[in-house]
Structure 1
């Protein structure tokens, strides 16, 4: 059974299997994700979840970022929602799928705190999460079948939490089988009129996958033919595919990419391009006649107005950060795309609503052929005085061809965390993550519980 081959791979994975580059990149992504989590602590949907947890309580075993404790599965839900809400965490680009592997961090922290997981064990479990989710995205994409990328995430959460809990191969297989059978999400999450669920779909998977691992820990079994069986994952959703788990490593994290701007991942090179154009030529939004963007087909369909709906209708954060028209307009008007560009007043302002209507997006086959090895785009700005300015991009700072340094990641972390933390606390978090081999999950959570709401 495939699930047993996968569980054997998970059981045999160890810290020694991580290259030095993979270890460093995992720690960089941990700090990046903690920044996005702390920066989201006053997000309305996240605060709604927090009120729910406060109302219902639960066993106080796993720490909530910002204070309090609850059950591991509920902590996975809340802390994962923090990581995800801003839509500012990392991504992995496969030809037919895009995912955010750092979505798994909240689950591993929640489970790891219950087992006194040390830093080396945490990084190993996180490496497992990245490998499982990214390889399934490579070989078994589901977006075109109408399912969400959180579908593959169900396997990654259960795999990594099982590793964090120290489950044996049989219980790990059952955890994966339960989670993979139960958590097949619809792509409507990210099409048409977008809702809070866009940012909460993976946190829900984090909750369910963690819960599945806890069930397996206590002896609950799942369908062993979850992958290849009658009406299983292949038969019902993904189609036939093959991954030789016995030959897999833990290096896929090195192919993931980090966001420079608080925007959907496929927009990053276009946003960087618009900011560079504005700096070079000094034009303003009032001078613009229209803006034409040529881009690869995946970006066109997800954020440009293709198969996932009209992206010139922007009424809320969830729609704004999935509208290339909005994000490029914000880059021109404000010179940046950060959390403040998604405030209600900014979204509804006349200047940006008017400008985004002038942005036209079209797919270009040459660029589609170069994706995902590149993130190609061409922006052409036509001004009212007859001038034309254009720029062509193949990547951005944060893409795997131009990786971010520790210094840049720390700057991003500082900017997001500053309103909710002291300088001393931020320094402690950075140093703990950079030297996580010498620390434990409990050490880190003792710091994160000190994060405070601004108000």
Structure 2
């Protein structure tokens, strides 16, 4: 384990630049790349390859080059508990800091009979949320799926106009819709000092919709659905799963895979689970579209 960590940390330190500015396709690939490199490091260590000494505290180690002093808690420690119990689950397929804004926007839409009545929108969020989702001009004029997926103004407008946010929200026909882009230009995003201080324990947002008659509709979210203080139920998690795999697998196969996931601690060999998610040749999307289009279309967040 020690050699695996050394081989992984020293050789694969990633930069947060992946998640700011004009978002590229790499963001969606970064987690799987990290997993792959971790597996390779474990295989090398198993074969006897040693890693650099003192990868964290050495003269040129992670703490001095990247993070500063770190404090680690033991796995399952009383102070921290198991991290799985502190996991936040996304409801919608977008960047996590935008989840609460969607929830607030959808609540407001129920109070607006016609989205055409909207004059402008003001969004208050933590400074971190602003930096991650409203930091560049590209977020007000998304030209790519990746920027649309991380554009707070566009996604809130989509929730208000469409009454939903789904994978279809990030089709080019949706994020280049002139009607939406015109309204996006009337969205203001502000960093709220109180929300910034409370972050990340609270992910508070406030969405204010100003109507053409001068009236306002306001909705604030502090603990969004899926937050550890407002967790999804098992049924809601199952609904999200079926929404993601629908169109990929038959209902029977999807249910079999889901049963395996709910009883994961009872599975003796991981191959039993992975086999259920392997695409049959007939399911392979590359049989129906060009490979380049498939490579781009398969890169999604959430």
User: What TM-score, normalized to structure 1?
Assistant: 0.59
Q: Which runs of 5+ in 2 are unaligned?
A: 289-302
Give distance in 2, aligned partners of 1:243 and 1:411. Answer: 36
Give distance in 2, aligned partners of 1:244 and 1:288. Answer: 49
Query: 1:453: how far off?
Result: 3.5
Instruction: Note closer, same or farther for the CA distance 1:403–1:244 as it changes in structure 2 (3 Å cut).
Output: closer
Give distance in 2, aligned partners of 1:450 and 1:369. Answer: 45
Give distance in 2, aligned partners of 1:404 and 1:374. Answer: 16
Is 1:375–2:199 an aligned residue pair? no
CA contact (8 A) 2:106 2:164 kept: yes
What residue in structure 2 maps to residue 415 of structure 1? 243
What residue in structure 2 maps to residue 191 of structure 1? 20
CA contact (8 A) 1:376 1:394 kept: yes
Q: 1:263 aligns with which of 90, 94, 116?
A: 94
Q: 1:341 aligns with which of 152, 165, 169?
A: 169
Is 1:275–2:103 an aligned residue pair? no
Q: Which runs of 5+ in 1 are unaligned?
A: 1-171
What residue in structure 2 maps to residue 362 of structure 1? 190
Query: 1:282: how far off?
Result: 2.3
Superposition pairs for residues 94-109 of structure 1, below 5 Å? none
What residue in structure 1 maps to residue 38 of structure 2? 209
The CA deviation string for residues 326-365 of structure 1, in whole angstroms up to 9 with x for no partner, is 1101101111111110011111111121111111101011
SS at match of 1:241: coil
Alignment RMSD (CA, Å): 1.8
Q: 1:287 aligns with which of 71, 94, 117?
A: 117
Q: Which has the higher helix share?
A: 1
The CA deviation string for residues 83-116 of structure 1, in whole angstroms up to 9 with x for no partner, is xxxxxxxxxxxxxxxxxxxxxxxxxxxxxxxxxx
Query: 1:264: how far off?
Result: 0.7
Give distance in 1, aligned partners of 2:73 and 2:223. Answer: 31
SS at match of 2:247: helix
Superposition pairs for residues 234-253 of structure 1, below 5 Å? 234-245=63-74, 248=77, 251-253=82-84
What residue in structure 2 maps to residue 3 of structure 1? none
Instruction: Note closer, same or farther for the CA distance 1:442–1:310 as it changes in structure 2 (3 Å cut).
Output: closer
Is 1:224–2:53 an aligned residue pair? yes
SS at match of 1:281: coil
Query: 1:247: how far off?
Result: 7.4
SS at match of 2:228: coil
Superposition pairs for residues 51-130 of structure 1, below 5 Å? none
